[in-house]
């Protein structure tokens, strides 16, 4: 009894009403319950179908969905059931009588409510829970898990999604987001949760010591850690007051920690007033994402007005950092790959100059992050390690390093999507520490009469000019899923031999952990990363093209990175690389359109 409705299916009306009434009976929060009761009264079956045709899936990273009443929405009932599954997994997996968790939340609507709901489920399951008294950034949650030696952690956030979304991410005892086998084990337990969920009141949880409220006892060590990331604290103390910095937290959690850390070091920050206060509606933003030029518009306008040296923005949970800097008479946005390269070069060169480079320095990046960072790392005698896409894999790699006697020492790492980590006390993207390091970097180059873009050009001249593009394609509905599958199957069975006139030399298939060497016609199982549905083409001119379907939505991403030879005149190199990326962009879109 189902029939198509656009890209969804309209369920039988009686079944929809049955599901909706079941939700109303179970949901104790009147705001969310009333939403569904109103839809039932109005017989709004289109909206009921959207809220009940499926259940919000607990994925490998946690929950994320549109806020509202219904099983396919983010609400207290869904949070309780998901947390019950997580609690069950923790109790079955961790052999300890002293289980604990830390929970933080960002500025999104209902984040404080969802955080408390999760905490009270944990408490009722015998897991002592440390809950922040107000909003805190994701990196501080990771820091707190490690500092308190907790079993797990949750941060309630939907990262940089539109305002109508919320969710939560799950962390393990090392402070990193969960990976295999924990992610799959948690999903199994969440799916097994029936209607019964353990829950207690806040009053009872506080009275019996199961719920512990935290704030400055974590804040102060966290800010101290951020400040200790500085490599040239004396320079900041002496000249930091002369640096003009504009910063926007995009109505998120970054305002207090970023401003506090920089001001205590001696750098005053000019805030974008319209975006300085926490606001889950993000009134001046379409997407609260510093990767988007539109999100940085107000900050750029203020930067031009006061002739700033640096403009910075962080997303709502302050794990991503976007920046802009003056270049001649105009401000230019810096891409995620470019800032990653600049930070790597600054950190390695400074450590070498100051004699504080570890014995076996290491940089960690994802497989879709610019190879320019590898060239920079190698220049300073550091080894570059690749991981799958996702910062949880970078966090896990750091953990692996720590288990190797006299092994690699993590120095810096990041991913192209504006995520960086310049310390080891946090095991996720940390925009707070990265903001301090970026400000120090700009201050240092200013002290030697150089702009950030002038130094970036020096890096390109030395290592080759790099340019990256990203193509994201959505395919709606069930047919869209099949289109993505067909496209990946075609790339595996009948791969292109050329891109932009360049021969494909190697094809890396991360699903089977194999590399096909085209000239030798030889396939070798030589990829040591976990299996993932990703295909990568390495061309004769060192260009790299990567195809990666999303694991959570009907979307496929194509990443392309092109470069010139080191030492080539920059204007000529930029022209040639631009032509390559334009050709690859056209060929990839043609490839997609044929599916």
For the record, the structure tokens of 280 come out as 């889950």
Rounded to whole angstroms, how far apart are CA atoms 56 and 82?
10
For the record, the structure tokens of 197 come out as 């969920």
Q: Which helix (H) or strand (E) holds 73?
A: none
For the record, the structure tokens of 218 come out as 């974590």
321-327 and 330-334: which strand pairing? antiparallel
For the record, the structure tokens of 483 come out as 């289109």
Q: E strands, 328-401, where?
A: 330-334, 361-366, 383-387
Rounded to whole angstroms, how far apart are CA atoms 533 and 531?
7
DSSP 509-520: ETTTTEEEETTT
Distances from the Cα of 513 to the Cαs of 64, 161, 510, in angstroms?
A: 30, 32, 5
Q: Choose, from 111, 159, 417, 561, the residue flagged as catalytic.
A: 159
Which one, of 460, 469, 492, 476, lies nearest residue 564 by Cα?
460
Q: Could you tell me which residues come within 8 angstroms of residue 550 by beta carbon, excluding any fewer than 6 positions away? A: 556, 557
Read off φ and ψ for residue 185, nearest 5 degrees.
-65, -40
CB 473 within 8 A of CB 556: yes
Rounded to whole angstroms, how far apart are CA atoms 26 and 343?
50
Q: Which helix (H) or strand (E) holds 37?
A: helix 30-42
Q: How large is the greatest C-alpha to C-alpha distance in the chain, in angstroms? A: 73
Rounded to whole angstroms, how far apart are CA atoms 103 and 82?
14
Neighbours of 190 (CB within 10 A): 21
Distances from the Cα of 308 to the Cαs of 325, 340, 372, 502, 579, in angstroms?
A: 8, 21, 28, 42, 33
Catalytic status, residue 159: yes
Q: Could you tell me which residues come within 8 angstroms of residue 143 by beta carbon, excluding any fewer than 6 positions away? A: 175, 218, 221, 222, 225, 425, 426
CB 42 within 8 A of CB 25: no
Residues written for the chain: 595
Which one, of 535, 528, 578, lies nearest residue 559 by Cα?
535
Residues noted as catalytic? 159
């Amino acid at each position: 009894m189902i029939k198509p409705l656009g890209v969804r299916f309209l369920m039988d009306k009686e079944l929809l009403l049955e599901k909706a009434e079941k939700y109303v009976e179970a949901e104790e929060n009147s705001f969310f319950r009333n939403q569904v009761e109103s839809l039932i009264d109005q017989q709004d079956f289109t909206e009921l179908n959207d809220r009940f045709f499926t259940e919000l899936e607990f994925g490998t990273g946690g929950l994320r969905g549109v806020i509202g009443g219904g099983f396919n929405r983010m609400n207290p009932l869904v949070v309780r059931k998901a947390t019950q599954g997580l609690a069950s997994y923790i109790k079955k997996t961790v052999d300890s009588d002293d289980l604990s968790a830390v929970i933080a939340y960002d500025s999104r609507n209902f984040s404080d409510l969802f955080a408390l709901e999760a905490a009270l489920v944990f408490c009722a399951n015998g897991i002592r829970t440390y809950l922040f008294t107000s909003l805190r950034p994701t990196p501080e949650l990771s820091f707190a898990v490690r500092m308190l030696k907790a079993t797990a952690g949750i941060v309630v956030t939907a990262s940089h999604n539109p305002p109508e979304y919320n969710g939560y991410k799950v962390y393990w005892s090392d402070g990193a987001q969960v990976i295999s086998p924990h992610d799959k084990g948690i999903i199994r337990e969440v799916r097994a949760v029936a209607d019964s969920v353990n829950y207690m009141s806040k009053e009872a949880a506080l009275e019996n010591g199961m719920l512990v409220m935290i704030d400055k006892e974590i804040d102060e060590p966290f800010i101290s850690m951020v400040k200790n990331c500085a490599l040239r604290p004396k320079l900041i103390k002496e000249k930091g007051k002369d640096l003009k910095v504009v910063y926007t937290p995009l109505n998120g959690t970054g305002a207090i920690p970023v401003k506090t850390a920089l001001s205590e070091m001696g750098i005053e920050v000019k805030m974008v007033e319209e975006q300085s206060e926490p606001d889950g509606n993000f009134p001046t933003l379409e997407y609260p994402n510093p990767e988007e030029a539109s999100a940085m518009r107000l900050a750029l306008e203020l930067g031009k007005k006061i002739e700033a040296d640096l403009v910075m923005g962080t997303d709502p949970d302050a794990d991503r950092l976007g920046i802009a800097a003056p270049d001649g008479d105009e401000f230019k946005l810096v891409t995620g790959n470019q800032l990653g390269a600049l930070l790597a070069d600054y950190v390695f060169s400074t450590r070498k100059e100051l004699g504080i480079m570890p014995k076996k320095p290491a940089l960690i990046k994802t497989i879709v992050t610019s190879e320019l960072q590898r060239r920079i790392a190698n220049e300073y005698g550091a080894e570059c390690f690749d991981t799958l896409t996702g910062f949880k894999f970078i966090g896990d790699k750091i953990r692996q390093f720590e288990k190797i006697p006299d092994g690699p020492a993590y120095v810096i790492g990041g991913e192209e999507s504006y995520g960086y980590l310049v310390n080891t006390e946090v095991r996720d993207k940390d925009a707070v520490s990265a903001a301090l390091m970026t400000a120090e970097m700009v201050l240092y180059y200013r002290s030697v009469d150089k702009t950030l873009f002038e130094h970036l050009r020096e890096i390109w001249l030395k290592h080759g000019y790099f340019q990256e593009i990203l193509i994201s394609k959505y395919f709606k509905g069930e047919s869209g899923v099949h289109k993505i599958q067909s496209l990946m199957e075609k790339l595996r069975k009948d791969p292109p031999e050329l891109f932009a006139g360049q021969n494909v030399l190697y094809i890396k298939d991360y699903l089977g952990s194999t590399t096909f060497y085209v000239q030798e016609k030889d396939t070798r199982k030589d990829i040591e990363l976990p299996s993932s549905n990703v295909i990568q083409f390495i061309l004769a001119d060192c260009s790299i093209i990567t195809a990666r379907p999303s694991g959570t939505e009907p979307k496929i991403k194509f990443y392309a990175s092109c470069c010139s030879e080191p030492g080539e005149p920059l204007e000529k190199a930029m022209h040639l690389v631009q032509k390559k990326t334009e050709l690859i962009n056209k060929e990839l879109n043609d490839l997609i359109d044929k599916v």
